[in-house]
Chains A and B, each alone.
Chain A
Amino acid sequence: MKQALQLSLLFFLFSAVSLWAQSGGYRVGDEARDFNLKNVDGKTVSLGKMKKAKGYVVIFTCNHCPFAVAYEDRIIALHKKYAKKGFPVIAINPNDKDIQPADSYENMQKRAKEKGFPFVYLYDETQEIARAYGATRTPHVYLLDKNRRVRYIGAIDDNHEEPNAVKERYLENAIEALLAGKEVPRTETKAIGCTIKWRASAK
């Protein structure tokens, strides 16, 4: 009996650990890695080079996903409001272009031009950054402080379909909290989004 209990405990621990390892990615409080990714203007961008930043609004997003499209104008507005306060938006497209041709680098350039994106829109061609962060969908937000500590993970707000009916602006509240030197009120939220298009060998 005792042995069975021990065995089941061991099994439980093992499954808990493997589950944790599978889910991967960052949790709130983790230090996020920097990167060198190509922007739509052809230049390489890394967080470390943004000397004036007090934090980073990293958003995994893309061209094709209707949820991502629904948030484009809100992401533009966020950047316009918070970049000058030290929190620029860093948009990253992690999708494999062979699975979703609409998310190719050329189409990113096209979309950025059409919408006049005021923020950088980077191409995570190897999907290494999305994997390291643990992003699963678009859009998927990681708010980092100056030391690249993850302070918020999740959705932009609570209503993707109707911007005018939004009741809670999760991301904006989190940025405001950091600006005020306060704790983020709600550190994790969830939203429906398009699954990241992982290339077959990547996952």
Chain B
Amino acid sequence: MRKTLLLLLVTTFTFSLMKGQDTIPFIKSAQLSAWRSGASDTVYVLNFWATWCAPCVAELPHFEKLHAEYSQKPVRVVLVSTDFRRDVDRRLKPFVERHALKSHVVFLDEKTPNDWIDVVATEWSGAIPATLVVQPKKKFERFFERQVHYEDLEKAVQEALGQ
């Protein structure tokens, strides 16, 4: 009985992974600090975006491609939504479903941007799109306050991986 239950659980879990993201986790700025300064071997690619931001939406396919091409490497693409809180259910979730986004999407549940923008990058003025490629252990950081090309991301990630 227990085995069946476990199997069921694992299957459900795998299935939900295959299906993509059902819920969008709310994160705090402490999570950003953790990604940015943790002792992990993972390269984090943190993209700050919003559903209504045209240049952000235009560059999303690059992040999806990166996510797919580096799925076997310690690379984690996180799409950090800065949409309005009231738009999470009515805009963000439908958007993620419609575009079948495979990268990890989170909602940054913070009210005062002045308190967390510097956590991401001190040189960031706050304009989106913005992207941080970071490998905390190697102290590797590359920040873009603009729409990126796939080559920008790939170059940064490869450097971060040390290839």
A128 at the interface (CB under 8 A from B): no
Q: Are B85 and A190 in contact (CB under 8 A)?
A: no
Residues of chain A in range 153-203 having any CB-CB distance to chain B below 8 Å: 154-155, 158-162, 165, 167-168, 170, 189-196
Q: Are B54 and A155 in contact (CB under 8 A)?
A: no
Q: Are B129 and A192 in contact (CB under 8 A)?
A: no
Q: Are B125 and A137 in contact (CB under 8 A)?
A: yes
Closest to A134 in B: B125
Q: Are B114 and A161 in contact (CB under 8 A)?
A: no
A6 at the interface (CB under 8 A from B): no
A100 at the interface (CB under 8 A from B): yes
Q: How many residues of A contact B (CB 8 A)?
A: 27
Give Cα A170 to B115, complex, Å: 13
A66 at the interface (CB under 8 A from B): yes
Measured between beta carbons, the chain A residues less than 8 angstroms from B23 are none
Give Cα A188 to B127, complex, Å: 15
Q: Are B111 and A190 in contact (CB under 8 A)?
A: no
Q: Are B117 and A23 in contact (CB under 8 A)?
A: no
B126, chain A: closest CB distance, angstroms:
5
Q: How many residues of B contact A (CB 8 A)?
A: 27
Closest to A66 in B: B52
Q: Are A194 and B84 in contact (CB under 8 A)?
A: no
Measured between beta carbons, the chain A residues less than 8 angstroms from B145 are 136, 195
Contact residue among A100, A192, A194 (Cβ-Cβ distance under 8 Å from B117): A192
Give Cα A140 to B128, complex, Å: 13
Q: Are B128 and A194 in contact (CB under 8 A)?
A: yes
Contact residue among B48, B53, B112 (Cβ-Cβ distance under 8 Å from A158): B112
Measured between beta carbons, the chain A residues less than 8 angstroms from B124 are 190
Give Cα A77 to B86, complex, Å: 24
Q: Are B54 and A158 in contact (CB under 8 A)?
A: no
Give Cα A165 to B110, complex, Å: 13
Contact residue among B111, B125, B147 (Cβ-Cβ distance under 8 Å from A161): B111
Give Cα A161 to B126, complex, Å: 15
Q: Are B84 and A193 in contact (CB under 8 A)?
A: no
Closest to B82 in A: A192
Assuming A190-B114, A192-B128, A195-B127, is B52 touching A161 (CB within 8 A)? no
- Chain B, residues 78-107, CB within 8 Å of chain A (1/0): the string is 000010111000000000000000000000
Q: Are B86 and A195 in contact (CB under 8 A)?
A: no
B22 at the interface (CB under 8 A from A): no
Instruction: Using A137-B125, A158-B111 as known contacts, list a sample of 7 further A-B pairs with CB atoms less than 8 Å apart, ordered by residue number in A.
Output: A66-B84, A136-B145, A165-B111, A190-B113, A190-B117, A190-B126, A193-B126
Q: Which 10 A-B pairs have the closest CB atoms?
A: A137-B127, A195-B127, A136-B125, A190-B117, A158-B112, A190-B126, A189-B114, A136-B127, A192-B113, A191-B113
